[in-house]
Amino acid sequence: MYLYPNSHAGYYPGAKMIGLKLLFRKSNGKVLGAQALSEDGPGIDKRISALAMAIQMGATIDDLAEAELCYAPQFGSAKDPVNFAGMVARDSLDGDMPIAHWEAAQDGFLLDVREPAELALESVPGAVNIPLGELPRDREIEVICRFGQRAYYATRILLQNGFNVRNLSGGMLSRAMLLTDAPGFEKELV
């Protein structure tokens, strides 16, 4: 699964986005690998070091979600990207947030939950930006936003209202990585 959290607390100046890919075993949640990209060098190596230790110790996604990592606004958030990755992975395994990946996106209804200003910058052919009350119940809905957080909320709300829905993991940023074939992002593991 993919996510794109900030390198540290957003209210503290200089936060940079981290592109984080987490691999885990579906059967037991064991962490198998990770990759990260960011302009924030110290922020990236901190997360990869924590994930490398988790892999070495045989940790699970639940261990990531509960890990106590250093909190200092200029270096990390109260819920670190490593914690966030564990929480999102657990929600995925529990069925609370089914995910899809761009490569496997089907002919479902593609719902874009981004703001109009973001749509002006980029869009996906066939994706629709519409209010909740107008969504189809007769086919699967695949939800997107910029990096996955709003799509996560929309997916949870839609699931709780009886829709057949999945969150496209990592949103538009994962699609951009796939289309640009970012060096090493898909090919190497930690």
Distance CA 88, CA 10 (A): 19
At how many degrees (to 10) do helices 41-56 and 81-93 cross?
A: 50
Distance CA 10, CA 47 (A): 17
b or e along 151-177 (b: 16 or more beta carbons within 10 Å of the residue's beta carbon)?
bbebbbebbeeebebbbbbbbbbbbeb
Catalytic residue, chosen from 34, 85, 97, 145, is 145
145 assigned to active site: yes
Distance CA 45, CA 82 (A): 12
Which residues are the active-site residues?
Answer: 145
